[in-house]
Structures are given as structure tokens and as C-alpha cells.
Amino acid sequence: MITPLDILSLETWILIGTILALLRYYIHRKWQVLKQLGIPHDPPTLLNLGNLVPAMKNFQQFFLNDVKNKKKFGKVYGTYVFLKSRITIWDTDVLQQIYIKEFSTFSDRKASSNLLNGEVMKNQLVSVSGPKWKRIRNTLTPYFSTSKLKGMYGTVEKCVELMVKQIKKTSEENDGKIDVKEVFGRMAMDSICAAAFGVDTHIQETGKDLKLIEMVKKIFDLQRTFNIWFILTIIFPWFEKVLRFFNYSVYPKGTIEYFVVLTDAIKEKSQTGSTDRVDFMRLMLQSEISEQESKQENAKGITQNEITANSITMILAGYDTTSSTILFLAYNLAAHKDVQQKLRQEIQDTVQEYGGLTYEGLNSMKYLTMCINESQRLYPAVPVNSRHCSEEIIMNGITIPKGVTIIIPMYGLAHDEEYWEEPMKFKPERMEDMNKIDPMIFQPFGGGPRNCIGMRFALIVVKLTICNVLQNFYLDFADDTPEPPLETIFRASVRPKVDVLSLKLTPIDTE
């Protein structure tokens, strides 16, 4: 019979046992952080990799866990992602400090996974931090001024008008039934490419540049990232550097390379094309600086790689989050005919007063804004936000250690019965007076200096789209449209659980 001493010596077994005991003690110490801070949490275990495994079991609806955890633990609770502690905060006073007063301590979204974005995408605004983030943000912010947006308004308007023509054609062929994600997605892509980059893709009318849509969808298929390598970086943050050494990227092979070639072509077109057209690419090229200049103190401008990375980010955001916002709003209006008709009347009144859907007229529509806000509350594009704590701090009696990630449950706050009566129902009237709504409870575009930089442009696309749809069509459910509330999942952004969401659009002029 073989004994352990036949395999290894007694000294070796003692050494192995000592190492395992020390390792277990180290893990135990790491798992005492939340307890020592007095922050409630579920007990972490090795089999659960802290608290990670239970959370991963239904990852596509992970944001629903926040609602359950608040009922269980209260407004502040913690979790362990293996050895790293995270603190989820619902307390609006603390969130206000994190976003605004103590922004210098919480200026970064996260401290991990950035290396896996690759050499190009590590320069996107949502990934960079510190002085680099401030320089890029200060450079890009003026591009979204009222005067710049007015200059792009007509371009977006043409894309939306083309969408209406395509819907009429499709509705005739399919008895009014359309895949709204596909239709609104193509329109959003058309708008962002035309207005932001001065490029007419013709995606809506000819199906040209289908590869562009294909590549965007590949990037947004988050199932690709949950492989053994990605999980190892969550468990062992240092492993990220190992993967980066081998040039591993979370993005599917060939996608970023495709967009680099695309944005290079857009740059060339912007440099040689007409100077009359206002677009983001032309503005960015005017602010281009060298890598060496970017490292200087108080540098202004953006580098070539930063232009490419943020151009790609604009394209991706334009397709996914903007089209999803329009989709959910259309769904809610189809489900509530009284709201739809009231909004249609406001559109008609505005057109009569302003002589058309002008920029000023569009932004004057109060009920339209109420409907958009309520739809974003019910179906936020981003269900959680995060901030990285760079220095230990105490706020409202809560100690947050250096290095801890703060989770802001945006979906949970927007569906909390403490703040919203019948939170699962679509009620635009609750958004009538935004002064009465705490911006920490309702934050569809984030909060503080790191809120969504493209918010105003996105809202123009959303408003123009829904106004043109209601001017030309009655929105209704198709035979396979799910009843509200619509079940959602998270895959890069919140989207319907059903693969295809259909609505029926009946042309008004045929009624």
C-alpha cells in the first residue's frame, strides 16, 4: 500500500501544509475587511470565489440582485469578488459626495481590466483616468455645445426622414410589423456616422456597410468575455498584465482593427472634404497633438490614438444605447395609447408654433421630455455605475478603504418603492417637475463630471426619431409583442430579453 511518505518526504508535506495554512489565513484576513468596517454582506466562501459565483449564475440580470440585497441588508452592503471587496451604496447623500464633493477621490470608474482593452481602446474616455481623462474630456466637451449641435441637426433630420420612408416601405410588405431594434439601430448608426463623422453610410436604404453592423454586434456580444481568461483576471487582478503581455484583448478578433481602418478613412475624408459641414471628427482633428505634447503639464488636445478610440466609442454608443432608448420609448408608447396620443398632440402643436420640428421647438416639448425620462427610468440603458476609491475616506459614518470599488445601483434606485409609487408602471406625469426628483435617484446618463458626454446629442436623435414616428404612424403591439413590464437583460447595455422585439406601425395617412 502506497503512503503519502512514499510520494513526498515528511518535510515536504509539512512545507506544503504550512503554505496552504498561510494561504488560507491570508484569504481569511482579506475576507475580514467588510466585517471590520461594519458593512453587512453574505459570507464569502472558496467555492463561491468570495461572492462571485452566485452573482455570475444569472449575470444577464445581475442588476435585479441589488433590489433583493437592499431589502436584505439596507442601503449599504458589500460583496467579495474573490479577495477584492466592493461596496454598494444606495444612500443618496453619500452618492452626492462621491459624484461631486469628493470627486477627486472617486474620479475613476475602475482600476482593472483597462489593460485588456488593447493599445487603441485603452484611450477611450470611459477607460482613461487622472490628468489624461481631464485633458480628453476638456477637449471633447465643447464639441457638444448648442451651436455645434445645431450645426449637426439638419444631418440627423435627414437620416430620420429616411428611416420614415423605409418604415413605410417595410410596413406595406409585412402588414406594419417591424423589428424595432433593427430599424432604430440602423437609423442611429446612420445618424452618428453622418453627424459625427460626415460620412453617409446609406445603411438604411441599401443595406450597404452591413459589415459595420456586424462588427458592432460582435463587440456587444458580452458572452465572448466570460471565458476562463477573463474570469482569471477577476480572481487574480495581476493576471491582467500576463494577458496583456500576450496581446490578449476582450474585443473579438478583427473588430477593433476593422474600426481603426474605418476611422482612418473617415479622418482622411474629413481632412480633404468640404469645410462647411460640422462634425466631431473634423473638430477632433483640429485639436490633434503628438504623444510627446500630450505628456506635458497642462497639455491641451488629443492624440491620434485618442481620436481613433473615441471615434469608435461614439459609433458603438450611437448604435446600441441610443437605439435601445428609442426602442423602449416606442414600446411604452405602444402600450399606452393615451400617452401616445397626448404626445402626438404636443408634436402637432409644436410644429404649428415653430413652423416645423426645429431645434428650438424640439427642446421646448415638455411632455416629450417627461416620456423620455420615464422610459429611461423604467428601462435604463446602463443598470449600474461604479467609482474607484483612490484614498481612504469617511462619509456619513461609512469608512471606504483605498482601492475599494463603489457600486451605484442605478437600476435599483430607479425602481425603488421608497422613491417611486408603482415603480414598474410607465407614468410620465411623475417626471413633470424634475426639481422634485433627486438626481442621485434618477441618473440615466450618470452623475457628476464623469456623466455621459454625448447626452445632448443622443437626446436629439431620440427626440427627432420619436417625433417623426408619431407624426407618420400609430404605434401598436404586434401579435408576438410581450406585455409590460418588458423583461430585460444586460449585454453591454440593457435590452429586451426577447431576441426580436416587434411593433406594428400603421401609417396615419391611410387611416
Annotated binding site for heme: 452
The amino acid at residue 451 is N
Q: Is the peptide bond before 485 cis (omega within 30 degrees of 0)?
A: yes
User: What are the DSSP calls for 444-479, one per residue?
Assistant: TT--GGGS-TTHHHHHHHHHHHHHHHHHHEEEEE-T
Neighbouring C-beta atoms of residue 52, cutoff 10 Å: 17
Task: Check: CB of residue 373 under 8 Å from CB of residue 442.
Answer: yes
Can you tell me the distance from the alpha carbon of 435 to that of 441, in angstroms, rounded to the nearest whole number? 12
Task: Check: CB of residue 106 under 8 Å from CB of residue 129.
Answer: no
Grouping H, G, I as helix, E, B as strand and the rest as coil, residue 503 is strand
Q: Which residues are annotated as a binding site?
A: 452
User: What are the DSSP calls for 316-354, one per residue?
Assistant: HHHHTHHHHHHHHHHHHHHH-HHHHHHHHHHHHHHHHHH
Grid cell, residue 340, equals 401616445
The amino acid at residue 412 is G
Name the burial class of residue 477, with classes exposed (0-12), middle (13-18) and buried (19+) by CB atoms within 10 angstroms of its CB: middle
* Eight-class DSSP state of 406: E
Look at the chain and count its residues. Answer: 511
